[in-house]
Amino acid sequence: MSDPWTPPPPVGGAGNMNYATWADRVLAAIIDGLLVMAALIVLYVVITIISLLIGGIGMGLGGAAGGDSGGAIAGVAMLGVWGICCIAFVVLPIVSLGVGLYNKVYLVGKRGCSIGQGIMKLNVVTASGGRVPTGTLVLRLLVQMAFGFVPLLPLLSILWPLWDPQRQALHDKAVGTFVIKVG
């Protein structure tokens, strides 16, 4: 089996690369985002099932002890509220980091592209056109995630390649990576 990494043609520097178009990059990002969304949905279903099981056990114990079942129902409702809170503030960053470490660090380090980038025939490379070191990929992911905490910065980063001569997003500029079209 051949290596799925398709190295770019030898170039004299970053200025001679076949930079990915903005549309290709956005479509790849949407595909990668759908992976995070799928993981969140699965996790949310698991959290909901666990909440219902815990609530059901609580209602059963309350009924067996002759207690008020209304309190158990209120407990289930509280678990549901806490579950939504967890999804919004705790689970989303954890899932994004977990999926990102696999998709945007491991896969890009191994084959040059994330799942979305692979579908769009894109590779992430260094200025010399080579593979990006793992440490740089981790930093690139953390920079992307950090942008999410600053209002409008993710939007600016997505739009940046439209006017950048090397079509780099802000997270690429921060770590010196380039996204090129290989197919």
Pairing of strands 122-125, 178-181: antiparallel
Q: What is the mean pLDDT of residues 11-40?
A: 87
CA–CA distance, 154 with 101 (Å, rounded to integer): 19
10 pLDDT band (50/70/90 cuts)? very low
Is 60 exceeded by the pLDDT of residue 167?
A: yes
Of residues 9 and 163, the one with the higher pLDDT is 163
- pTM higher than 0.85: no
76 pLDDT band (50/70/90 cuts)? low
CA–CA distance, 158 with 65 (Å, rounded to integer): 58
- Give residue-wise pLDDT tens across range 85-124: 665 677 788 889 999 999 999 999 999 999 999 999 999 9
